[in-house]
Structure 1
Amino acid sequence: MDVTGRRARDRIRSLRAPFGAAAGLAAAVAYLAVVDPHEPGHYPVCPFYYLTGLYCPGCGALRAVHDLAHADLAGAARMNLLFVVCVPVVIAAWARWTLRSWQGRPVGPGAARPVYLWGLIAVAAVFWVVRNVPFGHFLAP
């Protein structure tokens, strides 16, 4: 096999992980689009909510995915605004992963710098608190 053919085959193989992840996520979204989490009994209740009566940062995310799958951006934002805001960030990260894989460049730990992770944790913590206080009721699902 010539070098060009081997390089093309290696590039295609390098896309297995990003496209495999996208396929798994697409299957989960398709399932959530069909089985409505707005109707009780289809999915278990959030354990944190069940035990405390308070909303965690992820509460409403399944309903938000369902609403996004049905092109209801406003409904998704009402269910979990933080999740909706994070979707474009996750898509951009996936696109970066795919491009770097195609180029044969590894996606190293530099993509998830500690300052970004600590920032995400801080935003999630503030969101968690605010959605459970009276003036933040608009953030509750």
Structure 2
Amino acid sequence: MTGENRRVDPSRTPPAARPAPGPPVPPYVPPAPARASRARSTAVPVLTLAGVVAAFAYVGAVDPNEPGHYPVCPLFRLTGILCPGCGGLRSAHAFAHGDLLTALGANAAAVVGYLLFAAFTAVWLVRAARGAPAPRIALKPAYWWVFGVLMLTFAIVRNLPVGSALAP
């Protein structure tokens, strides 16, 4: 055998040729992310708010009470049954004009949704301005089921004679 083809056994390496033992190498820890600027951290909530304001401005300018501007609810068109969202555009139009009673009469659930969204967006914007992480909606499945049952109940009651006040 020639010297090129021989394998070297590490256990037979003389001690002087082995690397000296040293302190253990710590695992790689990535550097902490750089803190985003205030403008960058508030960009997403501000753009979300701007989109919602633009949508409300459009619905406020184009009256959904006049036919031909918006599509009709397909469930209402096919069955005559009001869904939980029926009257939502009329509600948004009245809300954009500051007429809270008319908005509640068109769709009370939508008005509650507008107010909840406004509160969530305000919290999100304040937290982003302070550099805190965005708020999360982490509800247990039971709460989502309760929400679904409430919306189903709202839809059923507004279609009954006793709940005609909830119909748009």
Give the TM-score normalised by structure 2.
0.73
Alignment partner for residue 74 of structure 1, among 75, 84, 101? 101
1:131 aligns with 2:122: no
Output the CA distance in 1 between the equivalents of 2:146 and 2:45: 25
Deviation at 1:136, TM superposition (A): 0.7
- Work out the number of aligned pairs and report it: 134
1:112 paired with 2:138, answer yes
Q: Would the aligned equivalents of 2:85 and 2:110 in 1 still touch at CA under 8 Å?
A: yes
Partners of 1:112 and 1:58 lie apart in 2 by 24
Q: What is aligned with 2:60?
A: 33
Q: By percentage of residues, which structure has more helix?
A: 1
Q: Distance in 2 between matches of 1:116 and 1:11?
A: 34
Determine if the alignment matches structure 1 residue 83 to structure 2 residue 104.
Answer: no
Alignment deviations for residues 93-140 of structure 1 (CA, whole Å, 9 cap, x no partner) = 11121122223332354x231344333222211101111111111111
- In 2: Cα distance, 1:138 partner to 1:106 partner: 42
Indicate the residue corresponding to 2:69 in structure 1. Answer: 42
Q: Percent identity?
A: 45
TM-score (norm 1): 0.86
| RMSD (Å) for aligned C-alpha atoms | 1.8
- The 1:20/1:58 distance shift into structure 2, 3 A limit, reads same
Unaligned stretches of 5+ in structure 1?
A: 1-5
Q: Separation in 2 of the partners of 1:83 and 1:123?
A: 13
The higher radius of gyration belongs to 2
